[in-house]
Structure 1
Amino acid sequence: MNVMTSFRTEKDSLGSKKIPASMYYGIQTQRAIENFSITDIPLSIDPEMVISLAMVKKACALTNRDLNCLSEAKAEAIGQACDEIIAGKHHEHFAVDVIQGGAGTSANMNANEVIANRALEIMGHKKGEYVYLHPNNDVNCSQSTNDVYPTALRLALFQKAKVLIAAINQLKQSFSRKSDEFKDIYKIGRTQLQDAVPMTLGMEFGAFATAIAEDAHQLDHTANLLLDINLGATAIGTGINTPAGYCNRAIHHLSEVSQLPVRLAENLVEATWDTGDFVQLSGTLKRFATKISKICNDLRLLSSGPLCGLGEINLPKMQPGSSIMPGKVNPVIPEVMNQIAYDVIGKDVTVAMASESGQLQLNAFEPVIANCLFLSLAMLTRGSDILRNRCIDGITANPKKCNELLQSSVGIVTALNPILGYETTSALAQQAITEGRSIKSLLMEQNILPADIIDDLLQKTITAQTANP
């Protein structure tokens, strides 16, 4: 810290500490900064969480005003300070580490102190003059970390999930456009990396689109579960230190402040310790990560080569691929999406362990759950956008290579089963493999079927698959 920095002194039950005079946070935040130098990533890294904390504090201030627990002047000052934070100001003062002990108490107190000190300035006082407006007595009035932190977390995760859903839907549209573009390009399908039966490249990309559209739907369902909140539950769900009518009024104000249809949880004791919705969200993210990683594996296989691999499609060339091999270009965009997926899958394990480790009336490990979910949502969103813009939209097909591989494959013989029977087609397949010949050339040589009938049958078979799934 700069030697010219000026300080103010604040006191709490454990003693006193010097706080940089320019900072809106107070002594409890300062203690947390010193205690939890874990990731060097501050709470402000997730602006949605900071904004959600401010929304909760404003809703609570309005409720306390309505129920005569807070004066009009204090409620107005707190509300104005919260509005500034919601508008994007003062986020740099949310300085506690994203990983912290205390079930989120440090994050809650960081918010209480920043809001209190800014509200004091609005009222014409100096930072730290808590006799006029106190972080705990006023900003945290009728609240506990145990209802404030999870409520804010749910709001923030809901907002970030909606952003990811939009990104997935845009990615789906890109795959759909490619499906239409490639609808007339015939190729061989593969199972267990072996030749299977004919299909079109459009079918392959259409399946990609459908697969991730399902994930967007599942994520939307899961996100809506996050709108069940426990605000007003305070410490363990009994609502201790709240006036009569607090919960419903707080929910009403939070709905107006956040513009989200939040709902009061059915059982506040259960809602205070249950992290099942976070586990479900993490699992849904893992589902998408797993499937998009599989799709990226397929893209890398289909584009392998360019001369000695499958080479059925071309990925956009993003950067030189080797420091020693001239001309080599690697599938770097699918590769980075694979790595995002691996990280998300690992974080799902962390979320599951942290959720399972909750004890009695509280889960103390929500900060690490929050960090994992925020990072997974952010990476999947950015990765989806990058995959769409820098890869999918620029993919081109190699129709000639697709046709060459199709014609040389024994897989097309399956389409002849209804006409020639399994025994005949099996013998043809073995002969083609042994002699390195194409099925089409054997059929013509043995006068079994002419070329035009073979081509017509192949096309009709694929068309029938599409029309009669």
Structure 2
Amino acid sequence: MSPPSGGFRIEKDTLGEVRVPADALWGPRTQRAVEAFRISGLRPHPAFVRGVVLIKKAAALANAEAGRLSVERRDAIVRACDEILAGKHAEQFVIDPFQAGAGVSHHMNVNEVIANLANEIAGHPRGSYALVTPEDHVNMGQSTNDVIPTAIRLASLELSRPLVVELEHLAAAFAAKAKEFSNVVKPGRTHLQDAVPMTLGQEFGGYAGVVRDAAGRIGHARRASLALGIGGTAAGTGLNADPKLRDRIIGYLHEWTGEHLQGARDLFTAMQSMAPAVELSGALRGAAIELSKIANDLRILVSGPRTGFGEIYLPVIQPGSSIMPGKVNPVMPEMLDMVCYQVIGNDEAVAWSAQAGQLELNVMMPEIAFALCFSLEILTSAIRTFRERCVVGITADAERAKWWIEQSPPLLVTALSPHIGYAKAADLAKRALEERKTLLEVALDEKVMPEADLRRILDPLPMTKGGVQE
């Protein structure tokens, strides 16, 4: 980070003096981390910052109720937190996601910014800590080791709620298309080979169900994040925390977030295990796998426009080539694929980080927070964009789909099998393919049954409704 135009101020921590940018709201411990961890150029996710700030606000109120924090300090801390939660001072949260273990650097960044804001609100100069200090007051009764896991859960809950909503909207969009395409008969394909007739509506109805199920799995997975381990402090014992601090903090968080938060059954478990993050990330991975499959299906169905399947049209977003005039690409499914692959990779990072905890603490929590928040944000945005800019505008080429049905004897011959036998039906399909004739032409030539019966049995639309064609 380049020095600001305002020069520097000198602050001290337990290791000695540190030059801090004069206009920075952070303090010496943040500055040491800024100088030490110049890794990615990335900043903490805003939802992760908000999670920590909500905990700090709740703790100030709870500690004041316990008589451990003065009203003046409480009010200054709460006002500082409210400014941050209102969207101010976002530029002050500067720690690279790849930082010291457990998230101590990020935690102290938040503590120091709140402390300096609180002091300024009370009329004291930045860096003086005359009324409020980061460690003694903002962090009273807390530890990185219970704050960061709790903040990850709060961020997960905040970001997963709109994701579930977007998935439900996408499922509804596919369901609407299923109704619109209910009479568009097309080839059903298995092993990428012609199988039996189906409707485009049935295909899109399948997509609606897949997406709806993915939303349900994520909705279920997010419940694990409702159990909070705040109050465990350094190792789960609750050392230095008022006995009622935990319940009071959770009460405030429940009120502010609208989530049904509760204390973890075992504080040691909540501190040692990253299982809630693993469960949610795994559900995101599952959704990404399903969505990528759908995206790739759409890429196949729109392929062409003349030499591919060409059964649907996607909305045109942009020219598709720098050298080939007139070319248009399925850019929205391509974008969704890329996001899904990133989410799958992020889940791998979460899994490795979660297993890397030792004894009473997982020191890889900053990576878990980064990967999980990143996945939740990009998947939500990608699904919304995919729905708005692609799915709602999909149209069908019914004539093209019908032409494919007519060109492929194997698509229709299954319906004949109950009437003439599997072997005879296979012979008809084989001959039709070899002679480049329709199945009806070959069946009429071999007089397997009266023409009226053949035409009725080989009508593709009734085949899509199941049963034996009579």
Length-normalised TM-score, structure 2: 0.95
Please name the residue that 2:28 is paired with.
Answer: 27
Distance 1:3 1:313 in 2: 55
Deviation per residue, 1:262-297 (Å, 9 max, x gap) = 110011001101001111111111111111111111
Q: Does 1:444 align with 2:460?
A: no
Please name the residue that 1:94 is paired with.
Answer: 93
Q: Secondary structure at the match of 1:322?
A: coil
Contact 1:255 1:261 in 2 (8 A): yes
Distance 1:217 1:455 in 2: 44
Please name the residue that 1:430 is paired with.
Answer: 430
Residues 110-121 of structure 1: pairs in structure 2 closer than 5 A:
110-121=109-120
Deviation per residue, 1:147-188 (Å, 9 max, x gap) = 111111111111111111111111111111111111001111
Q: Which amino acid aligns with 1:463?
A: K
Please name the residue that 1:9 is paired with.
Answer: 10
Residues 314 and 29 from structure 1, CA distance in 2 versus in 1: closer, same or farther, beyond 3 angstroms?
A: same
Please name the residue that 1:371 is paired with.
Answer: 370
Q: How many residues align?
A: 464
Residues 151-300 of structure 1: pairs in structure 2 closer than 5 A:
151-300=150-299
Distance 2:98 2:147 in 1: 17
**Gaps (5+ residues) in structure 2?**
none
CA drift of 1:65 comes to 0.5
Residues 398 and 257 from structure 1, CA distance in 2 versus in 1: closer, same or farther, beyond 3 angstroms?
A: closer
Residues 8 and 256 from structure 1, CA distance in 2 versus in 1: closer, same or farther, beyond 3 angstroms?
A: same
Contact 1:443 1:450 in 2 (8 A): no
Distance 2:293 2:244 in 1: 51
Please name the residue that 2:307 is paired with.
Answer: 308
Distance 2:193 2:135 in 1: 67
Q: Secondary structure at the match of 1:187?
A: strand
CA drift of 1:447 comes to 3.2
Residues 2 and 99 from structure 1, CA distance in 2 versus in 1: closer, same or farther, beyond 3 angstroms?
A: closer
Q: Secondary structure at the match of 1:76?
A: helix
Q: Secondary structure at the match of 2:342?
A: helix
Greater mean alpha carbon deviation, residues 438-447 or residues 234-243:
438-447
Greater mean alpha carbon deviation, residues 360-369 or residues 17-26:
17-26
Deviation per residue, 1:370-402 (Å, 9 max, x gap) = 111111111111111121122111111111111
Distance 1:98 1:329 in 2: 38
Contact 1:185 1:200 in 2 (8 A): yes
Deviation per residue, 1:12-36 (Å, 9 max, x gap) = 1111112122211111111111111
Q: Which amino acid aligns with 2:23?
A: S
Residues 228 and 132 from structure 1, CA distance in 2 versus in 1: closer, same or farther, beyond 3 angstroms?
A: same
**Gaps (5+ residues) in structure 1?**
none
Distance 1:189 1:428 in 2: 20
Distance 2:109 2:4 in 1: 24
Q: Secondary structure at the match of 1:226?
A: helix
Distance 1:6 1:161 in 2: 41
Distance 1:290 1:331 in 2: 19
Q: Secondary structure at the match of 1:198?
A: strand
Greater mean alpha carbon deviation, residues 193-202 or residues 318-327:
318-327
Deviation per residue, 1:127-152 (Å, 9 max, x gap) = 12224211100000000001111111
CA drift of 1:4 comes to 4.0
Contact 2:124 2:130 in 1 (8 A): no
Q: Which amino acid aligns with 2:19?
A: K
Deviation per residue, 1:62-117 (Å, 9 max, x gap) = 11111111111111111111111111111111111122112111111111111111
Residues 209 and 71 from structure 1, CA distance in 2 versus in 1: closer, same or farther, beyond 3 angstroms?
A: same
Contact 1:51 1:88 in 2 (8 A): no
Q: Secondary structure at the match of 2:465?
A: helix
Distance 1:393 1:253 in 2: 41
Q: Which amino acid aligns with 2:248?
A: R
Distance 1:82 1:235 in 2: 23
Greater mean alpha carbon deviation, residues 215-224 or residues 310-319:
310-319
Q: Does 1:461 align with 2:463?
A: yes
Distance 1:148 1:27 in 2: 20
CA drift of 1:245 comes to 2.1
Distance 1:95 1:314 in 2: 45
Contact 1:29 1:109 in 2 (8 A): yes
Contact 2:185 2:398 in 1 (8 A): yes
Greater mean alpha carbon deviation, residues 269-278 or residues 455-464:
455-464
Deviation per residue, 1:326-371 (Å, 9 max, x gap) = 2111111111111111111111111111111111100000111111
Q: Which amino acid aligns with 2:466?
A: A
Distance 2:46 2:56 in 1: 15
Residues 452 and 155 from structure 1, CA distance in 2 versus in 1: closer, same or farther, beyond 3 angstroms?
A: farther
CA drift of 1:451 comes to 5.9
Q: Which amino acid aligns with 2:273?
A: D
Length-normalised TM-score, structure 1: 0.96
Residues 8 and 181 from structure 1, CA distance in 2 versus in 1: closer, same or farther, beyond 3 angstroms?
A: same
Distance 2:353 2:79 in 1: 36
CA drift of 1:307 comes to 0.5
Q: Which amino acid aligns with 1:87?
A: A
Residues 454 and 128 from structure 1, CA distance in 2 versus in 1: closer, same or farther, beyond 3 angstroms?
A: farther
Q: Which amino acid aligns with 1:26?
A: G
Contact 1:55 1:258 in 2 (8 A): no
Alignment root-mean-square deviation, CA:
1.6
Residues 3 and 442 from structure 1, CA distance in 2 versus in 1: closer, same or farther, beyond 3 angstroms?
A: closer
Greater mean alpha carbon deviation, residues 352-361 or residues 322-331:
322-331
Q: Which amino acid aligns with 1:436?
A: R
Q: Secondary structure at the match of 2:81?
A: helix
Distance 1:398 1:134 in 2: 68
Q: Secondary structure at the match of 2:323?
A: coil
Deviation per residue, 1:230-273 (Å, 9 max, x gap) = 01010111101112222222211222233322110011001101
Contact 1:50 1:85 in 2 (8 A): no
Q: Secondary structure at the match of 2:189?
A: strand
Identity %: 42
Distance 1:454 1:206 in 2: 30
Q: Secondary structure at the match of 1:212?
A: helix
Contact 2:3 2:21 in 1 (8 A): no
Distance 1:455 1:370 in 2: 62
Greater mean alpha carbon deviation, residues 219-228 or residues 441-450:
441-450
Q: Secondary structure at the match of 1:104?
A: helix
Residues 299-338 of structure 1: pairs in structure 2 closer than 5 A:
299-338=298-337
